Structure 1
Amino acid sequence: MTTILITGGAGFIGSNFVYHVAKAHPDYQIVVLDALTYAGSPDNLPPDMRELDHPRMRFWYGNVCNAGLVEMLVRDADYVVHFAAETHVTRSIFDNRLFFETDVMGTQTVANAVVKSSSHVKRLVHISTSEVYGSAERSVMDEEHALKPMSPYASAKCGADRLVYSYWATYKAPITILRPFNNFGPRQHLEKVVPRFITSALLGEPITVHGTGEAARDFVHVDDVCRAIDLVLHADDHLVNGEVFNIATAQHRTIRNIADDVARLMDMPSKIIHYGDRPGQVIRHTGDYAKIKSKLGWEPSLTWEEGLTRTIDWYKQNRQLWEKQIWMRHIPIVTAAGRSELH
């Protein structure tokens, strides 16, 4: 069996990728490594694959910084997809040390293990983020856009991104870096904007928007992201080794627009209220995906409304899976002006 190791596979994008691999590659064995922090849960994994001795999936409860464990798992892997990271901008403002430990040192651990097993590991795909760019300095952001991270989370991911690149430059390890723009879809933690808005509407609460709501993002559905990862994973070496690819839609929408769309599609009277802007707010992200389209033929398949409708339907139908996170939707931070606010 071909074996694929997925770090952070019980989190949002990671678990969706587990579902994707299980369906697209029925002859692959899946190994998931996850520390099951607040944003990861075994409930995110396919129900029919959770048995202890399932022939196609093995789950390892452990930290990505555990070098001995990571090296053992990488030794048996043909492919490695590295999702494991702390990912929430606001939470990084509230408590940032863990972000650098997991996102940077965890990535170093994985990259070291891949170098040691480079004789048989065909590819490491590192999942970076568009947050490494900071605010857009031109109409769309290609992979050559300056890296100007604006939050502790973005800085940690930027460090990991460049660290991984150095392992290709130094050791010619089979590494590819992906920078997805804002993801949304099923099983996303309620701290993120789309599920927070949807669940606020379902709970009959006001939808709360940072600042004026004019900050804009490029939102790409997680199913399209999983397709892109799969394409990169199995591409010819000369097309992807040492390369960076955006995963985006080349369209942006404001946070206020998203709140309005959620209220409209859910046909629920939801009051929208504004409160203090988030420190380190990125004004706009709009991704250029021309490079991955040119090299691998990828482009987004779902429109914003199709993806949002699917996402709303999932949260409507799976309340038992997300209601335990309700108390974590808002995070206390201290603003630059010294005010304590829930964001």
Structure 2
Amino acid sequence: MILVTGGAGFIGANFVMDWLDGVDEAVVNVDKLTYAGNLGTLRSLHGDLSHIFVRADICDSNTMDVLLEDYQPRAILHFAAESHVDRSIHGPRDFMQTNMMGTFALLDVARRYWSGLPGAEKDAFRFLHVSTDEVFGSLSETDPPFREDTLYAPNSPYSASKASADHLVRAWNHTYGLPTLTTHCSNNYGPYQFPEKLIPLMITRALEGKPLPLYGDGQNVRDWLYVGDHCAAIRAVLAKGRAGETYNVGGWNEVTNIQVVHVLCDLLDELRPKASGSYRDQITWVADRPGHDRRYAIDASKINRELDWKPAETFESGLAKTVRWYLSHEQWVADVISGDYRKWVETNYARRA
């Protein structure tokens, strides 16, 4: 049995469903169910005895102690995090609480649990922390991609909170010997992503006939990673990664934001054409967000070399899958886009009009 935190969020839920579809091992899924946690995403697992969902806060050490004692997992996979940069700018406190203090609380509980395991089980136990490439800061056009030994230079409250969590994980490995693994992923996209991130935001607003708000000059570069490829990388790191190591997980897909939006609009023009014109006509330029990092890029050669992982999807194939998924799951989108979400989107982008 494994224990997953944040397993009702975008990446965590995709991982849980992918795991249970291909691995004969149960999952204890712990999620606080904040705005981005969605049990509707896990509807296909209803009645599956291999999926044990527990609504809990990772900061609640007493509850986490009980869960570890009751279920005796062989690994903890830590996905739970506040992850939207814009939200971190407007309200950083939640990011510090969940990403820093939540990781601290979970590490401390995990250390006590791991220390009490018998020999073979203690040796086999792993704590896998899912982090982000944003902890490394911003690259210029000519800089080489981020490596595992790139110096940390977080620039947003979100990335600073994740960098702090990374340092805690490293310290618990170095000081206490807790067998940790850390992954740094690039920008994920795919099914079940909350529609505040770039790709689902643009899809949903395009279909609603609303402006497609694009920051600055649209030339910010991200390395795009299909979420299914990320799940496969996490499985590989858990199975074969060396304790105490970090692994960068990227898609080898550096694309500017304007290119992403153009490809999305072209796909929608093909798959759900408008009565007249193109979805590109809805693109609207808005003032850039504070401290917007210019470029992220991941060097994923270590995980390929050591663990034989590489992404299966190209940006084009992954994006086409993603657009088709959103077009065929409009009820899921409608359920997610609550009044609070609409208020957030309008408030955030109205300030930049």
TM-score exceeds 0.5? yes
C-alpha deviations, 1:207-227, integer Å up to 9, x for none?
A: 110111111100000000000
Checking the alignment, whether the CA contact within 8 Å between 1:168 and 1:174 is kept in structure 2 is yes
What is the rounded CA distance, in whole Å, between the counterparts of 2:258 and 2:68 in structure 1?
43
Aligned to 2:104: 108
SS of the aligned residue for 2:81 comes to coil
Checking the alignment, whether the CA contact within 8 Å between 1:213 and 1:254 is kept in structure 2 is yes
**1:171 CA displacement:** 1.3
What does 1:191-202 align with in structure 2 at a 5 Å threshold? 191-202=196-207
Select which of 76, 88, 91 maps to 2:87. 91
Q: Which amino acid aligns with 1:205?
A: K
C-alpha deviations, 1:243-267, integer Å up to 9, x for none?
A: 1111102331110101100001111
Gaps of 5+ in 2: none
Q: Which deviates further from its counterpart, 299-308 or 112-121? A: 112-121
Aligned to 2:136: 133
What is the rounded CA distance, in whole Å, between the counterparts of 2:348 and 2:210 in structure 1?
21
User: Does 1:182 pair with 2:187?
Assistant: yes
Select which of 7, 10, 19 maps to 2:17. 19
**1:114 CA displacement:** 1.6
Q: Which amino acid aligns with 1:57?
A: H
**1:45 CA displacement:** 1.0
Detail structure 1 runs of 4+ shifted over 3 Å in the superposition: 324-327, 331-334
What is the rounded CA distance, in whole Å, between the counterparts of 2:292 and 2:260 in structure 1?
17
Checking the alignment, whether the CA contact within 8 Å between 1:108 and 1:163 is kept in structure 2 is yes
Percent identity between matched residues is 35
Aligned to 1:161: 166
Q: Which amino acid aligns with 2:85?
A: V
Select which of 225, 248, 257 maps to 2:230. 225
User: Does 1:241 pair with 2:243?
Assistant: yes
C-alpha deviations, 1:174-214, integer Å up to 9, x for none?
A: 11000110000000000000101111222222211011111
Checking the alignment, whether the CA contact within 8 Å between 2:75 and 2:127 is kept in structure 1 is yes
**1:324 CA displacement:** 3.4
User: Does 1:36 pair with 2:16?
Assistant: no
Q: Which deviates further from its counterpart, 262-271 or 159-168? A: 262-271
Q: Which amino acid aligns with 1:43?
A: G
Checking the alignment, whether the CA contact within 8 Å between 2:170 and 2:244 is kept in structure 1 is yes
Aligned to 1:337: none
| Residues 332, 205 of structure 1: alpha-carbon distance in 2 compared, 3 angstrom cutoff | closer
Gaps of 5+ in 1: 335-339
Checking the alignment, whether the CA contact within 8 Å between 2:286 and 2:352 is kept in structure 1 is no
**1:8 CA displacement:** 0.4
RMSD (CA atoms):
1.6
Q: Which amino acid aligns with 2:135?
A: V
Checking the alignment, whether the CA contact within 8 Å between 1:79 and 1:124 is kept in structure 2 is yes
Checking the alignment, whether the CA contact within 8 Å between 1:6 and 1:31 is kept in structure 2 is yes
**1:46 CA displacement:** 4.4
What is the rounded CA distance, in whole Å, between the counterparts of 2:98 and 2:261 in structure 1?
32
**TM-score, length-normalised on structure 1?**
0.92
What is the rounded CA distance, in whole Å, between the counterparts of 2:43 and 2:310 in structure 1?
26
Checking the alignment, whether the CA contact within 8 Å between 1:142 and 1:288 is kept in structure 2 is yes
Aligned to 2:62: 68
Aligned to 2:219: 214
**1:80 CA displacement:** 0.9
**TM-score, length-normalised on structure 2?**
0.90
SS of the aligned residue for 1:298 comes to coil
Checking the alignment, whether the CA contact within 8 Å between 1:19 and 1:46 is kept in structure 2 is no
**1:341 CA displacement:** 0.8
What is the rounded CA distance, in whole Å, between the counterparts of 2:3 and 2:76 in structure 1?
5
Q: Which one has the bigger helix percentage?
A: 2
User: Does 1:82 pair with 2:82?
Assistant: no
**1:342 CA displacement:** 5.4
Select which of 263, 266, 269 maps to 1:261. 263
Checking the alignment, whether the CA contact within 8 Å between 2:220 and 2:257 is kept in structure 1 is yes
User: Does 1:290 pair with 2:301?
Assistant: yes
SS of the aligned residue for 2:351 comes to strand
**1:299 CA displacement:** 0.7
What is the rounded CA distance, in whole Å, between the counterparts of 1:248 and 1:156 in structure 2?
21
**1:332 CA displacement:** 3.4
C-alpha deviations, 1:121-149, integer Å up to 9, x for none?
A: 61111001111011025221111112111
Checking the alignment, whether the CA contact within 8 Å between 2:253 and 2:315 is kept in structure 1 is no
